[in-house]
Amino acid sequence: MIALPQVSQVAQTIQLALAPVFLLAGIGAFLNVCVGRLARIIDRARLVEDKILTSRGKEHDRMVGEICVLDRRMSVVNGAIFLSVASACAVCLVVILLFAGNLFGAHLGTPIAILFSLAMVVQAAAFGTFIQEIRLASRTIHIRNEVLYHKVEEEEAR
């Protein structure tokens, strides 16, 4: 028969699990940022898709190029989201193993350390992927010369 844990033992386990739980909150905030960027990319892609059908010549080619970059950005940000969710799952397993090990007297230090390290590596990869998406966005978003140097007809008449 398994002995029931003491309240102090449960409290100690909760204290041990507190740091990984805070990490989960941080990962959740990062996921919120990624999902927000994904939503903006999708909105822009829908707008460009509509314009592609009516555009011609250079404007059409520019729009096709933009939609290709938007598609790539969606893939990259989806990768960051996937990696972050995988990291969060690994952190959840760390918390579960912390409780199991402490409450049942199991020696789970090595699996906990490996899972926590794995969670950090995967989250670092998610951050790296997110930086890749930001660089893609900043490389492709620029003001075209015809817009930048466009003058209003009234100013030209003066």
Residue 99 is predicted with a pLDDT of: 85
User: Does residue 129 lie in a domain region?
Assistant: yes
> What pLDDT is attached to residue 125?
98
Task: Work out the pLDDT band at 11, boundaries 50, 70, 90.
Answer: confident
Give the pLDDT band of residue 132 (cuts 50, 70, 90): very high
Residue 148: its pLDDT value, please?
A: 72
In a domain, residue 3? The reply is no
The structural domain count of the chain equals 1
Asked whether residue 157 is assigned to any structural domain, the reply reads: no
48 part of a folded domain: yes
At residue 91, what is the residue type? Answer: V
Does residue 134 sit within a domain?
yes
What pLDDT, on the 0 to 100 scale, is given for residue 155? 54
pTM more than 0.75: yes
Q: Considering the domain boundaries, does residue 105 fall inside one?
A: yes
- Secondary structure (DSSP) of 83-136: HHHHHHHHHHHHHHHHHHHHHHT---HHHHHHHHHHHHHHHHHHHHHHHHHHHH
Of 154 and 117, which is predicted with more confidence?
117
Res. 28: pLDDT tops 60? yes
How large is the average pLDDT for residues 21-28?
94
Helix-strand-coil percent breakdown of the chain, rounded to 5?
85, 0, 15
The amino acid that residue 49 corresponds to is: E
Cα–Cα–Cα angle for 86, 27, 102, rounded to 5 degrees: 75
The verdict on residue 116 lying in a domain is yes
Per-residue confidence (pLDDT) for residue 32, from 0 to 100:
98
Question: What is the per-residue pLDDT across 54-108, written as a single tens digit (0 to 9) for each?
Answer: 889 988 998 999 999 999 999 999 999 999 999 999 999 999 998 888 878 889 9
In a domain, residue 96? The reply is yes
| Structural domain of 126 | 18-146
Residue, of 112 and 102, whose pLDDT is higher: 112
